[in-house]
Chains A and B, each alone.
Chain A
Amino acid sequence: MPDAAADRPELRPALDALSARFPGVVLSVGVEKGEITVRLGKAGLIPVLRSLKEEAGFNALEDIIVLDNLRTAGEGGKRFTVLYQLCRFPGADRVRLAVDVGEDEGLDSAVPVYRSADWAEREAFDMFGVRFEGHPGLRRIYMPDDFEGHPLRKDFPLEGRDGGV
């Protein structure tokens, strides 16, 4: 029963307040894949992050994860889902924010709220090509600067496009 174990009733008031404060932005709050997950529209990402950090005490952005929904998005679905893993310590309470973003859309950078978003967003850009608007220096972090394409996209061939060096 990992889902039930992941539900933290003590977080409920804060999350319910979040839904009430950002109507239309918070799409759903629930336990998904073992973690409390808040689904958001992309316009409300930064206010929600700032509220969680400054009012609910989530003092760490642990990671930014990108999912490529190439084969599962369906008609009208967005290409990527960007997940923000937040942590509050001491206590290690965790919340996951999920934002859908299309292939040709940008997403507001979380760097003004969490400095740790800097390299995480560069990684997301390098591997998936998600653009973060307002990032202080959005360049590749793993691949060489002259690399073409975004290798963790589902339609990127494993061997690379040019067959290696």
Chain B
Amino acid sequence: MTETSGKQPFLLTRADAFITWAQKNSLWPFGSGLACCAIEMIATAAARFDIARFGMELFRASPRQADLFIVAGTVTNKMAPVICRLWDQMPDPKWALAMGNCAIGGGPFPTYSVLQGVDKIIPVDVYVAGCPPTPQGLIHGLMILQEKIARSHPTKEILDPDARRSR
């Protein structure tokens, strides 16, 4: 709803809609390239597929500066504590995307050394299947995540800390 009061235009909206609009269009990914999926993730960030169209081009090298954890590749049992710690280091609000069959459920490695799905250690918002997924697949997953963020109620989480924890 757009109105003008005197000469100053202003805009009325719900806080949730405004906050999620900002969140979903400026996701800063923390890419953990653990295997071949990383190559597709890098291709997604490069000029041809150009993740910058979604406001996500700022791949951060530090989890403290990121709000989207893209787990791209095979998570070994030895790497699992590291992934867990990186996730804990990311400030709220934050989202996680499991990229590729390995991150989803171990992929072709039902073995002693591979974690059978990263959702055993961190809460995953979107799963992108593929071995590896194409850049189009990853972008589709990111668009699904944008829709999910648009449906969320950040004001409720601000007012009720329990809601944030159970997200």
Contacts and interface: CB of A to CB of B under 8 A. Distances in A.
Interface stretch (B15-23, B30-38, B59-67, B105-113): B105-113
A98 to B, nearest CB: 28
Interface in B104-128: 106, 110-116, 120-121
Given A164-B115, A165-B120, A144 B110 contact: no
Interface string B74-94: 000110100000000000000
A164 B105 CA distance: 12
Contacts of A143: 78, 113
Interface stretch (A48-56, A65-73, A86-94, A153-161): A153-161
A158 B110 contact: yes
A160 B109 CA distance: 12
Contacts, number: 32
Contacts of B80: 165
> Interface majority SS on B: helix, strand, loop or mixed?
loop
Most buried by B among A151, A157, A160: A160
A165 B111 contact: no
Interface in B6-45: none
A151 B112 contact: yes
Interface in A120-165: 142-144, 151, 156-161, 164-165
Interface string B111-151: 11111100011000000000000000000000000000000
Contact of A144 (B77, B111, B121): B77
B115 A165 contact: yes
Nearest to B112: A160
Contacts of B116: 164-165
A157 B114 CA distance: 14
B122 to A, nearest CB: 13
A31 B78 CA distance: 40
A156 B115 contact: no
A156 B113 CA distance: 12
B78 A159 contact: no
Interface string A68-103: 000000000000000000000000000000000000
Nearest to A162: B112
The 7 A-B pairs with the shortest beta carbon distances in the complex, nearest first, are A160-B112, A144-B78, A164-B116, A151-B112, A158-B111, A165-B77, A165-B115
